Structure 1
């Protein structure tokens, strides 16, 4: 099993991606640990719970270790209650473009107004088509990491 995640992150210019989205999910997530070397995340996505551990990113911000395990939603709810302050709420839209799927997060709560898209790749140099709604690349910009948005939300920028 490969535990390496390679992805690039972008701001989103407009909501036109919604009309080409094939699925959407409500997500609530918090962090048991959110330091720069590792993040331990608890997530409820629809009616499923997940525990995820992410390592530090490489220099470009594209690649890092990621391990995820599905847990009972009751366990995830209990873990969210002891997370660091700043639980994140968002709707994730999935948009397929050729062989790639973009995950577009429309944030609520303290991060309302922020829309970020991520695309997972098989290599750091992989070429992919960029839809017209994709804006500035923010890969590696720490303030856009969900673990940092929980501490310093978009409303404070």
Structure 2
């Protein structure tokens, strides 16, 4: 079983842009969410994946990912994930021997930029680039399922200031 161990951060400034090695335009949809995890579909142009994520154990969680036909992903996004999709540009940025991903959200979350780094273990030491801001790994407001919920409820653009003004631990969302 593969475990995803990641840390998530706000992005302080655009210094990461000069180091980008690859970009992807992603469309993610929440297929289903349950007490101990979720199922997500992801479309990246000519490729698509179905991902099953289990319950968090600290900053780790079991993750299973399967490539699926693009047509199936498009049908899931349009027919099953209605109102539960996020679009973002993901940039890959190597730094300090690790691969960082920077997500620039589009649509209702336009202007929100988050960075993530996957680690080998929870206690792994790593150097933070100077463009990394506040850590939001355990902050429920920045989980993708919460962002999807906020988009569905607001039906308008939601900014970082508005998200930060929300109470961190009382949101009705599990991820």
Indicate conservation of the 8 Å contact 1:32/1:84, yes or no: no
Query: Any idea what SS the aligned residue of 1:113 has?
Result: coil
Query: Any idea what SS the aligned residue of 1:122 has?
Result: coil
Q: 1:89 and 2:87 equivalent?
A: yes
Cα displacement (A) at 1:87: 0.9
Distance in 2 of aligned mates of 1:112 and 1:34: 24
Q: 1:145 and 2:143 equivalent?
A: yes
More strand per residue: 1
Larger radius of gyration: 2
Query: Any idea what SS the aligned residue of 2:108 has?
Result: helix
The alignment's C-alpha RMSD in Å is 1.4
Distance 1:84 1:142, change over 3 A: farther
Distance in 1 of aligned mates of 2:145 and 2:16: 25
Distance 1:103 1:143, change over 3 A: same
Q: 2:74 aligns with which of 74, 77, 81?
A: 77
Unaligned runs of 5+ in 2: 152-156, 164-175
Cα displacement (A) at 1:84: 4.8
Task: Output aligned runs, 1:24-103, within 5 Å.
Answer: 24-58=23-57, 60=58, 62-81=59-78, 82-103=80-101
Distance in 2 of aligned mates of 1:35 and 1:119: 25
Q: Scaled by the length of structure 2, what TM-score is found?
A: 0.83
Distance in 1 of aligned mates of 2:141 and 2:49: 23
In the alignment of these two chains, the number of paired residues is: 154
Distance 1:36 1:104, change over 3 A: farther
Distance in 2 of aligned mates of 1:124 and 1:143: 21
For CA contacts below 8 A with separation 6 or more, give which structure has more relative contact order: 1
Indicate conservation of the 8 Å contact 1:33/1:84, yes or no: no
Unaligned runs of 5+ in 1: none
**Structure 2 residue aligned with 1:10:** 9
User: Which aligned runs of 4 or more in structure 1 are off by greater than 3 angstroms?
Assistant: none
